[in-house]
Structure 1
Amino acid sequence: MTYKETLDYLFSRLPMYQRVGKVAYKKDLTNTLKLLEKLDNPHRKFKSVHIAGTNGKGTSAHGIAAILQTAGYKTGLYTSPHLKSFTERIRINGKEVSESFVTDFVDRIHEAIDEIEPSFFEITVAMAFDYFAQQEVDIAVVETGLGGRLDSTNVINPEVSLITNIGFDHMDMLGDTLEKIAAEKAGIIKPGVPVVIGERQPETALVFEEIARKQGSPLSYARREAWKPKGLVPSYLVRNYPGIKAVVDVLIDQGWKISPNDIETGLDLLNELTGLKGRLQVLQNQPLIIADVSHNADGLRVLFEQVNEICKRTLHLVFGSVKDKDLSPIFKLFPVGAKCYWTQSSVPRSLSVEELAIQAIVNGIQGECFTNVNEAITHVKEKVLPDDLILITGSTFVVAEINDL
């Protein structure tokens, strides 16, 4: 198959949570383990750091990878979802996996895919682990896709695990209380493996402590360490810094050679080193245009707080969402005085712009409707003043369809 045919095969024939939602969520690790067995268990052939959490896990993964790269280690990075290109999900030292490897991998395990019928995510995880093993990485930083306990990535035995924080997201699959969600995320805690908790929350602390105790896993809470970035970075990277630093400290205790300068340089050059996109990403100055993939209440609260600090005049908010999300608490977070523009993405899970507008009106918010994010951006750019700020957010898939990302 060609690369395009390979992607069509993966996207169209196999269930993928990002496109179709809950129906694609597999509640066990059987398929992943079967696939990996066909590949001679590559997940056992490299060292790793495993990251779960409601918010901040992607940023934390990129931050830890950037630090390890700066320290001279050949560093794999697995994250999801991608924004522009499928190959963004799998990187080594910031370089995306080649299209030829993706094609060759699917060709190589085509019969196993037909036999096992795994999900898109299960195949992608197996692909990443096979690539990291073949390329003999020193260490890989692996972000969970959804939850933790039953996530396809939860077959590795890492050097250290990180749980960034717990918030209300994907409640239809992970549970309707913070305690239940925490129990799912805590599924990445492995026997005897140190675990770092990025934020101590009263509702979840006992859950983590009890599971860590049963697993015989040393548990630590990240200390409130300050970090002053040299440029404009997402405030949630600053918020996640203590967890990142705590993980690095554990690795140093284990013998990994990482200096204070490696930490500072890695984080300052995070975007350049890892290719991170969609996190407070500046697309244009005057007017300032920012794209950010924050999509749940906790993430958007932090984003809006930072935007309020840097917005000099009027905020123009281009916003889209997915169908399976309660938007009422999110609408309450919208900055006062923001002008709103509703949009949608092309994926099946996307909430239609008409339905989004209706939900907004119910919550007392008016806005203009556009069926394409680029159409919305073009419209807004024609009416803004130089000191205004345009923010595109609310859905990873809306951000991914921005032309100039």
Structure 2
Amino acid sequence: MSELQHPTATSSLTTWLSYLESIHTSAIDLGLERVAAVADRAQLTKPAPIVITVAGTNGKGTTCALLESILQHAGYRTGVYSSPHLIHYNERVRIDGKWLDDAAHSKAFATIEKVRGETSLSFFEFGTLAALQLFKQHALDVVILEVGLGGRLDATNVVEHDVSVITSLALDHCDWLGDDINQIGYEKAGIFRADKPAVCGQPSPPASVAAHADSIGAELHQLGYQYHYTLTDDTWCWAAGAFELTALPIPAIPLQNAATALMALGVADLEIADTHISDGLASVSVPGRMQVVAKAPYTVFDVAHNPHAAAYLAEKLAECKAERGGHVHAVVAMLSDKDMAGTLACLDGIVDHWYPASLSVPRGAPADSLPVSASQQFASPSEAYQQALKYAEPARDCVVVFGSFHTVGQVMSELN
């Protein structure tokens, strides 16, 4: 048989990824029985002394990045698992803030392939187990896991984690999680653990979150109750009970997520000084999340792909527009199963010129299905981006590329 059917530890990463895409009946297959069985056999359910698992509709990646940044400044060895990637699969696993080479991933895949036997695994399940294998090999202090979809039935939930985090709650992935916010809250709260701390950064979350915490005896720390934050001109303050941090640097991520990360660290029983927190806040950055890639014209890449994220993007673009006094040019491409109308409506009155593009990936939406008013449609996000740059006035205008990880990833890949 060919290498594609039977890759080995020395096979290329591309070969392995093609193989993983072909061995399971569906790309998404929620449920823990199969992945838990393999995780148990491989002894992967506790990849580090401290494990923090982060769920949420939006804000998972930025919260994980800030946790990582502060912990590294505090001298801890860290591992981060996040998804999806923008350009390279290697982005999904970071050890001490760095990607691993292709060979390391291939070896980890080979280990999981040997252990799984006849157990079928989805692409995400296989990748999650391989990430846990890599963390185990590196003898880390803290592992940070970003949930892929939901929480309760996500592959990351096979791990015995110490702190559970929900960053935000909104409607998304309705085909899998339903269109009831209480049900979504229950699914995400499914990562909570009995007698362990859980943090929720969603203001006024659905009642299902606290109800589930109460039912299993999780120690819930809720934004607005157990912890708070306030913005004060060019700094911000954070408080939990009588403990307060003042004059904190404003990070390049939403403050709601930053405050939630601080609460997670506060209940994780780790030694972290105030200076580590300030240094971590000042240095955190996340590709594709309000990422400023150019100043003339002011250009932002953001993976916002649902109304909740688009509302935050609209707020930031309005600030940019008011400050620069020019127009906003928006390059957008989306997946067809997203709430395209709701997402794009959030930017009504903010965007002056639309550049809708087709997304040539599975579930990608054609440009003519995007509900925006535009004089031209484009075959790809990269083509649309070049046109936006052509028409944007460098000194005054803003350009934004958004709508999907695929959209931002394609444009970033072209630039690289």
Q: With the length of structure 2 as denominator, give the TM-score of the two structures.
A: 0.87
Q: Determine whether 1:33 maps to 2:47.
A: no
Counterpart in 2 of 1:239?
256
Q: Determine whether 1:382 maps to 2:390.
A: yes
Q: Determine whether 1:126 maps to 2:129.
A: yes
* Contact 1:43/1:130, CA 8 A, preserved across alignment: no
User: Unaligned stretches of 5+ in structure 2?
Assistant: 1-10, 236-247
Counterpart in 2 of 1:317?
330
Matched residues, number:
381
Cα deviation 1:88-114 (Å, max 9, x = unaligned):
111111111221111112233335556
Counterpart in 2 of 1:353?
367
SS class of match (1:107):
helix
Note the C-alpha offset of 1:346.
2.9
Counterpart in 1 of 2:274?
260
Greater CA deviation, 386-395 or 345-354?
Answer: 345-354
Return the letter of the residue paired with 1:355.
S
More helix by share: 1
Counterpart in 1 of 2:312?
302
**Residues in 2 aligned to 1:33 and 1:13: alpha-carbon distance in whole angstroms:** 18
Return the letter of the residue paired with 1:221.
Q
1:166 to 160, 166, 169: 169
1:339 to 328, 336, 353: 353
CA 102–44 in structure 1, closer or farther in 2 if over 3 Å, else same: closer
Return the letter of the residue paired with 2:284.
L
Counterpart in 2 of 1:19?
none
SS class of match (1:190):
coil
Return the letter of the residue paired with 1:240.
N
Cα deviation 1:103-133 (Å, max 9, x = unaligned):
1122333355562120010011101111111
Greater CA deviation, 331-340 or 129-138?
Answer: 331-340
Q: With the length of structure 1 as denominator, give the TM-score of the two structures.
A: 0.89
Counterpart in 1 of 2:13?
3
**Residues in 2 aligned to 1:231 and 1:285: alpha-carbon distance in whole angstroms:** 20
* Contact 1:3/1:103, CA 8 A, preserved across alignment: yes
SS class of match (1:185):
helix
* Contact 2:80/2:144, CA 8 A, preserved across alignment: yes
SS class of match (1:58):
helix
Counterpart in 2 of 1:372?
380
Note the C-alpha offset of 1:210.
1.6
* Contact 2:39/2:158, CA 8 A, preserved across alignment: no
SS class of match (2:157):
coil
CA 42–193 in structure 1, closer or farther in 2 if over 3 Å, else same: closer
* Contact 2:199/2:263, CA 8 A, preserved across alignment: yes
The structure whose RCO (Cα within 8 Å, separation 6+) is larger is 1
**Residues in 1 aligned to 2:118 and 2:375: alpha-carbon distance in whole angstroms:** 49
**Residues in 2 aligned to 1:378 and 1:184: alpha-carbon distance in whole angstroms:** 41
* Contact 1:65/1:77, CA 8 A, preserved across alignment: yes
**Residues in 2 aligned to 1:344 and 1:62: alpha-carbon distance in whole angstroms:** 30
Return the letter of the residue paired with 2:391.
K
Counterpart in 1 of 2:292?
282
CA 127–78 in structure 1, closer or farther in 2 if over 3 Å, else same: same
* Contact 2:163/2:197, CA 8 A, preserved across alignment: yes
**Residues in 2 aligned to 1:187 and 1:67: alpha-carbon distance in whole angstroms:** 26
Q: Determine whether 1:226 maps to 2:243.
A: no
* Contact 1:294/1:395, CA 8 A, preserved across alignment: yes
2:88 to 71, 74, 85: 85
User: Unaligned stretches of 5+ in structure 1?
Assistant: 16-22
Return the letter of the residue paired with 2:327.
T
* Contact 2:310/2:344, CA 8 A, preserved across alignment: no
* Contact 1:279/1:292, CA 8 A, preserved across alignment: yes
Return the letter of the residue paired with 1:382.
K
Q: Pairwise CA RMSD of aligned residues?
A: 1.9
Return the letter of the residue paired with 2:401.
I
Counterpart in 2 of 1:145?
148
**Residues in 2 aligned to 1:269 and 1:13: alpha-carbon distance in whole angstroms:** 40
Note the C-alpha offset of 1:47.
2.1
Cα deviation 1:54-83 (Å, max 9, x = unaligned):
111111111111111111000111110011
CA 57–367 in structure 1, closer or farther in 2 if over 3 Å, else same: farther
Note the C-alpha offset of 1:46.
3.8
Cα deviation 1:21-49 (Å, max 9, x = unaligned):
xx532231112112213423353554200
